[in-house]
Amino acid sequence: MAVVDEIVKYAEGRKDEFLEILKNVVNYESHIYGERSVKDKCGLYIEGLFKGLGFETWHEDAKEAGTHICGRLGNGNKKIFLLGHYDTVFKTGTTLERPFSIENDKAYGPGIFDMKGGIVVFYMAVKSLIELKQFPDDVEITFFFSCDEEGGSLTSRGLIEKMAEEADVCLCSEPGHKGEGYITIGRYGRDVVKVFARGVAAHAGNNPQCNPLIEISRQAEYIDKNCRDGDSLYASVVSMHGGDTGATAMTPEEAYLIADIRYKDDEHGKIAAEVIKNIKPAIKDMQIEVSGGVEKPALRQNEKSEFACRRTKEIIEEMGYEYKPTVLGGGSDGNFTSSIGCPTIDGLGLNGQYLHNPREYVDIPTIPQRVALSAELIRTVLNNR
pLDDT (0 to 100) of residue 105: 96
Q: Render pLDDT for 263-300 as a digit per residue (tens, 0 to 9).
A: 999 899 999 999 999 999 999 999 999 999 999 999 99
CA-based nearest residue to 273, from 257, 256, 290, 258: 290
pLDDT (0 to 100) of residue 178: 83
Q: Render pLDDT for 18-73 as a digit per residue (tens, 0 to 9).
A: 999 999 999 999 999 999 999 999 999 999 999 999 999 999 999 999 999 999 99
Confidence grade of residue 96 (pLDDT, cut at 50, 70, 90)? very high
Burial 16-52 (b: 16+ CB within 10 A, else e): eebbebbbbbbbbbbbbebeeeebbebbebbbebbee
pLDDT (0 to 100) of residue 1: 66
Q: What is the pTM of this model?
A: 0.92
Spell out where the chain has E strands: 56-61, 67-73, 78-85, 101-103, 106-108, 139-146, 169-172, 182-187, 189-198, 202-203, 233-242, 250-251, 254-263, 287-296, 324-328, 344-345, 352-353, 361-363
Distance CA 349, CA 370 (A): 7
Q: Rounded mean pLDDT of 92-111?
A: 97
- Report the percent of the chain where pLDDT is more than 90: 92
Helical residues (DSSP H) of 28-156, grouped into ranges: 36-51, 94-97, 117-131
Whether the per-residue pLDDT at 207 is higher than 80: the answer is no
Q: Render pLDDT for 130-167 as a digit per residue (tens, 0 to 9).
A: 999 999 999 999 999 999 999 999 999 999 999 999 99
- The helix/strand/coil state of 207 is coil
Q: Rounded mean pLDDT of 247-274?
A: 94
The domain segmentation of the chain, as residue ranges, is 3-187+298-380, 189-296
pLDDT (0 to 100) of residue 320: 95
Whether the per-residue pLDDT at 204 is higher than 90: the answer is no
| Fold of the domain built from segment(s) 3-187+298-380 | Aminopeptidase (3.40.630)
Q: Rounded mean pLDDT of 295-323?
A: 95
Q: Rounded mean pLDDT of 167-178?
A: 94
Burial environment of residue 245 by CB neighbours within 10 A (0 to 12, 13 to 18, 19 or more): exposed
Spell out where 74-181 has E strands: 78-85, 101-103, 106-108, 139-146, 169-172
- Report the percent of the chain where pLDDT is more than 70: 100
Whether the per-residue pLDDT at 5 is higher than 70: the answer is yes
CATH topology match: 3-187+298-380 vs 189-296:
no
pLDDT (0 to 100) of residue 246: 81
Whether the per-residue pLDDT at 385 is higher than 80: the answer is yes
**CA quadruple 174, 180, 184, 185: dihedral sign:** positive
Q: Do the beta carbons of residue 318 and residue 2 sit within 8 Å?
A: yes
Q: Do the beta carbons of residue 280 and residue 232 sit within 8 Å?
A: no
Mutual orientation of helices 15-27 and 36-51 as an angle, nearest 10°?
160
Q: Rounded mean pLDDT of 312-337?
A: 95
pLDDT (0 to 100) of residue 179: 82
What values do phi and psi take at 91, rounded to 5?
-65, 150
The number of residues making up the chain comes to 385
Distance CA 56, CA 95 (A): 31
Average pLDDT value over all residues in the chain:
96
Q: Do the beta carbons of residue 319 and residue 144 sit within 8 Å?
A: no
CATH placement of domain 189-296? 3.30.70.360
Distance CA 14, CA 121 (A): 12
101-104 long-range CB contacts below 8 Å, 24 or more apart? 102/19, 102/364
- The helix/strand/coil state of 87 is coil
CA-based nearest residue to 38, from 84, 95, 119, 83: 95
Distance CA 197, CA 75 (A): 55
